[in-house]
């Protein structure tokens, strides 16, 4: 494990995948947090919040288009968001959190629980084969990735 992952509380590793729990969903508003499960976006945003970053509660295509709270970057750094899809369309894209050296923390239906995959693992799967790109929360604090 690396320092960033070691700083995640154990509860993050037990979050179940629940596709209906996405940013903006009524059930998330009624019961916030990860205890009831999350989709990939909600999970990724909560990881960033744990590290004192403030990602917007956007769906993947809105996140990719956003220029106020996030910025597109060509080289990922720890705690950047990573978007994957079957095509180059950001609509419905899968969202994970860059850890380091080509590793991404994410939550998906296939595994049912959070997992860290190498980039090659995403490329092997049709639904994740296209790397859309990286987004960085604007104004991120350097000490957050320490």
- Taking only the tens place, the pLDDT of each residue in 84-143 is 999 999 999 999 999 999 999 999 999 999 999 999 999 999 999 999 999 999 965 444
The pLDDT, as a whole number, for residue 140 is: 55
17-23: average pLDDT: 90
For 46, other C-beta atoms within 10 Å of its C-beta total 18
SS3 119: helix
pLDDT digits (tens, 9 = 90+) for 58-88: 999 999 999 999 999 999 999 999 999 999 9
Two structure tokens written together for 9: 């509380």
pLDDT: which is higher, 99 or 25: 99
b/e map of 62-87 (b: 16 or more CB within 10 Å)?
Answer: ebbebeebbeeeeebebbbbbbbbee
pLDDT of residue 31: 80
Question: Tokens for 135?
Answer: 């987004």
CATH 3.90.1720.10, domain 3-139, yes or no: yes
Structure tokens, 48: 């960033």
Taking the model in full, what pTM does it have?
0.91
């Amino acid at each position: 494990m690396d320092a960033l992952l070691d700083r995640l509380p154990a509860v993050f590793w037990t979050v179940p995948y629940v596709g209906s729990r996405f940013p903006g969903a009524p059930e998330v508003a009624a019961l916030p947090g990860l205890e009831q499960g999350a989709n990939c976006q909600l999970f990724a945003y909560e990881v960033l919040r744990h590290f004192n970053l403030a990602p917007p509660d956007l769906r993947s295509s809105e996140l990719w288009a956003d220029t106020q709270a996030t910025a597109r970057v060509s080289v990922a750094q720890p705690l950047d968001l990573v978007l994957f899809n079957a095509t180059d369309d950001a609509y419905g894209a899968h969202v994970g959190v860059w850890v380091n050296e080509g590793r991404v923390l994410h939550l998906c239906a296939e595994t049912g629980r959070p997992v860290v995959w190498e980039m090659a693992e995403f490329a092997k799967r049709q639904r994740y084969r296209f790397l859309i790109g990286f987004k960085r929360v604007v104004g991120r604090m350097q000490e957050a990735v320490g």
